[in-house]
Structure 1
């Protein structure tokens, strides 16, 4: 399947039976004209969603930024002989749930908080009034919810869904314990995290520690460099990089003058070590993070 909205999607296979559907980070490419959340929050930064496939079954971890992207994913899975698909939402943000209408008849699993966030905003999202256009109509709500942890199986593959509070208070990561692969959603992001809830930064640090305790060998983010994803993802050291950036943001409470530091300087040790790769579109993300944290601490 190919259309103008999906013409730059690259299908990567970072591990056997794991596919990444990557779009964005293409100079000059836009999803649509005018200001819109797809280009500003996803395509400009680069975004991947994932499928874990075993035989004729698949778990799809986030459904991408549009029904057209969802349809591309479903077409690819159809070509692999998949006949049973289950959708997992990593969290409620629009760029992760927009393509679900392409998966009619499939179960949709999310944690309870994700389900509440979406239900509370459903009318505005379907009208295109929440975060602006494009509208997601229909917005597909979860058909099954959980709290804390949910264990699943996909043929012989063990899957564990784990609820955490990183980036958003309703994050769900997908953990493959036998292979020690973590599909991290937006809990890990390259080169720096987008802070949606600055008051929760201390909680984010605690839950990043929880992810580190799992002992992941490979970490696959939704937002990151495509070449890193194609090669299998990050190593566990990326969790430490995320923590250091969050700690830098938290230090603005007592040292607001450090807000003048450039993101390249802040991330330099991790970039030099090869843990992160600087990407220019994140300059605006960093500026928004700093502004929101300074406001929280009363320095704005």
Structure 2
């Protein structure tokens, strides 16, 4: 079930699928720009139904921040031949991810594990690019900026008029993670670049809405790991002033990936 959560500006709408992921829509004068499509077309359809009033008189555009399942497996709803066809923008690398054998294998596994993925068809972005791309909405500007580290294909969306950052998985509460050890320096560089934007509002796809302090909290987490690579998950939460977090077992596993990457980093 998709639910809507408030944001500091009514033109930026935030939608949540249980504890899995948050996706967004930015309502501009010219366009409704959907940012990510959840893990299934059915979830994406629920989001579009909630946006029906905003779509009147505006064109629909879709952005994939990256090719992970919870961000782009709802694309069939808006792909060519789908019920609501629209341009799907994403990085060239995101297109490669969604065309890959690894993505097909993951879909096969998830369809065997969970019936909700039965109708998923892997649909890559239809408009791909390298580097950055800007959408002129008439009143709001959406800057699609490369933000690698969590994944090589990742983009974030910066709205300068609102000083609002849709951070995808480059930032996360309580912390983001890297799948490959070599990606840790890349993620840290991305987080510093996002800090330089000086956002007033940061909305990640996991962990709920936050102000810009999330950037410093995420950087501080990795700085503590660099100083103390033997930090346990419980100690890491305590350092962040937290007693517990939702999906604690999941984040315990991610903490282990981050510890491994920190230990592998050059000294």
Q: Kindly tell me: are residues 73 and 237 of structure 1, through their superposed partners in 2, closer, same or farther at Cα, counting changes over 3 Å?
A: same
CA contact 2:225–2:262 (8 Å) conserved in 1: no
2:136 to 137, 144, 153: 153
TM-score (structure 1 length as normaliser): 0.76
Does residue 1:106 correspond to 2:86, yes or no? yes
SS in 2 for 1:223: coil
Segments of 5+ residues of structure 2 without an aligned counterpart are none
Q: Kindly tell me: are residues 86 and 243 of structure 1, through their superposed partners in 2, closer, same or farther at Cα, counting changes over 3 Å?
A: same
Distance 1:174 1:195 in 2: 20
Residue matched to 1:123: 104
1:24 to 18, 34, 53: 18
Distance 2:119 2:225 in 1: 33
Deviation at 1:71, TM superposition (A): 0.4
Deviation at 1:101, TM superposition (A): 1.6
Residue matched to 2:48: 74
Does residue 1:223 correspond to 2:206, yes or no? yes
Distance 1:129 1:53 in 2: 33
TM-score (structure 2 length as normaliser): 0.84
Q: List structure 1 runs of 4+ shifted beyond 6 angstroms.
A: none
Deviation at 1:293, TM superposition (A): 4.0
Q: How does 1:1-300 map to 2 (within 5 A)?
A: 6=1, 9-14=2-7, 15-25=9-19, 42=20, 47-55=21-29, 57-82=31-56, 83-103=58-78, 104=82, 105-121=85-101, 122-128=103-109, 133=114, 134=117, 137-225=120-208, 229=209, 234-251=210-227, 255=229, 258-259=230-231, 261-263=232-234, 265-271=235-241, 278-290=244-256, 293-294=259-260, 297=263
Q: Kindly tell me: are residues 126 and 295 of structure 1, through their superposed partners in 2, closer, same or farther at Cα, counting changes over 3 Å?
A: closer
Deviation at 1:135, TM superposition (A): 5.2
Distance 1:295 1:107 in 2: 37
RMSD between aligned residues: 2.6
Distance 1:296 1:245 in 2: 11
Distance 2:261 2:133 in 1: 37
Deviation at 1:11, TM superposition (A): 1.0
Deviation at 1:147, TM superposition (A): 1.5
Distance 1:136 1:221 in 2: 27
Instruction: Figure out how many residues of one structure are paired with residues of the other and give that number.
Output: 254
